[in-house]
């Protein structure tokens, strides 16, 4: 691990209990814990709430989202997430799940753009409808292989932008995503840092989000994960549903192609 990384996380490492010093054993323990919890995953509560929200007539137009086209045709959710982000003709944009949901809430339900983007992430005092919808739609891709296409020129362009963002260094520490996520066997605070430029680890990481975080008592979406890594990287806030966030998502989703989607999952 690079010296400055160690410096940054030394206080946390020092605070770890003695048994945790044996990294590999601990990683195995966390894995066991994960498997034990997978039988009863609280993420199901978010999935159920999301399904209700999908079917409920809401907004100024009093319409449900059941006519929303996520890329597989109006109303079809099965397998949709495994092929997102993708290009949509009606908006002439590449959209990921979240930005597409916003599009549908605006076009079908008549919400304003700002209303549709409100509360992207839940917290102690905030229930996020967006995260519930994301849990519902992603759950309908369980067992399906990631198959993000790079056919349309705008999809290709987004991939290249996402890749540039991944390797772009900046901020007070001169960090890039690649600083923490482009080599093998890096680890911070017992957390394995997946090499997201390699197929197998990229697949494993991407297909495991959203996840119910036991430590936070919250369901967290992939967009939350990116938002939080921007924060770790000391970058300015990643604007929810921005073209940049979609491009970075597309880059990472494409790297995970072929991996079987298996989320919402559960993480420590
Ligand atoms: C300073 C180091 C650091 C930087 C820079 C960083 N991350 Fe992370 N990232 C982490 C850590 C630590 C975790 C694991 C956190 C946890 O599990 O609690 C993580 C987790 C992730 C995960 C989830 C992996 C999994 O297996 O679930 C993804 C995806 C990710 N980061 C993407 C990114 C992207 C994209 C960027 C650039 C915008 C980035 N990260 C920048 C430290 C970093």
Q: What is the mean pLDDT of residues 44-66?
A: 97
| pLDDT of 248 strictly over 70 | yes
Other residues' Cβ atoms within 10 Å of the Cβ of residue 6:
11
pLDDT at 215: 87
* In the predicted structure, residue 1 carries a pLDDT above the cut 70: no
Q: Say if ligand 1 is within 6 A of residue 175 CB.
A: yes
Q: What is the pLDDT of residues 2-41, one digit of tens each?
A: 444 444 444 444 444 444 445 677 777 777 666 666 567 8
Active-site residues: which are they? 229
CA of 180 to the centre of ligand 1 (A): 7
Residue nearest (by alpha carbon) to ligand 1 atom 23: 205
Task: Write out pLDDT tens, residues 111-165.
Answer: 999 999 999 999 888 999 999 999 999 999 999 999 999 999 999 999 999 999 9
Tell me the C-alpha distance between 119 and 102, whole Å: 12
110, burial (CB in 10 Å: exposed 0-12, middle 13-18, buried 19+): middle
CA nearest ligand 1 atom 9, residue:
229
CB of 181 sitting under 6 A from ligand 1: yes
pLDDT above 70 coverage of the chain, percent: 87
Q: Which residues contact 4 (CB under 8 A, 6 or more apart)?
A: 173
């Amino acid at each position: 691990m690079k010296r400055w990384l160690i410096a940054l996380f030394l206080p946390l490492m020092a605070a770890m209990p003695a048994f945790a010093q044996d990294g590999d054993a601990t990683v195995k323990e966390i894995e066991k814990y994960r498997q034990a919890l997978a039988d009863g995953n609280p993420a199901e509560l978010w999935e159920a709430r999301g399904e209700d929200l999908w079917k409920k007539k809401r907004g100024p137009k009093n319409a449900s989202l059941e006519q929303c086209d996520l890329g597989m045709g109006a109303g079809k959710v099965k397998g949709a997430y495994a092929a997102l982000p993708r290009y949509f003709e009606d908006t002439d944009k590449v959209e990921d799940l979240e930005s597409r949901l916003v599009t549908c809430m605006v076009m079908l339900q008549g919400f304003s753009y700002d209303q549709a983007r409100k509360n992207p992430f839940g917290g102690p005092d905030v229930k996020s409808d967006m995260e519930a919808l994301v849990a519902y739609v992603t759950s309908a891709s369980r067992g399906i292989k990631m198959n993000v296409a790079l056919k349309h020129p705008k999809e290709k362009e987004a991939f290249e932008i996402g890749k540039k963002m991944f390797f772009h260094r900046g901020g007070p520490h001169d960090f890039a995503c690649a600083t923490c996520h482009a080599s093998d066997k890096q680890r911070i605070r017992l957390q394995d840092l997946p090499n997201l430029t390699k197929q197998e680890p990229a697949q494993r990481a991407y297909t495991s989000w959203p996840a119910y975080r036991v430590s936070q008592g919250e369901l967290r979406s992939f967009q939350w994960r990116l938002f939080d890594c921007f924060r770790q990287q000391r970058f300015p806030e990643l604007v929810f549903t921005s073209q940049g966030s979609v491009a970075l998502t597309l880059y990472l989703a494409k790297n995970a192609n072929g991996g079987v989607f298996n989320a919402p999952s559960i993480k420590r």
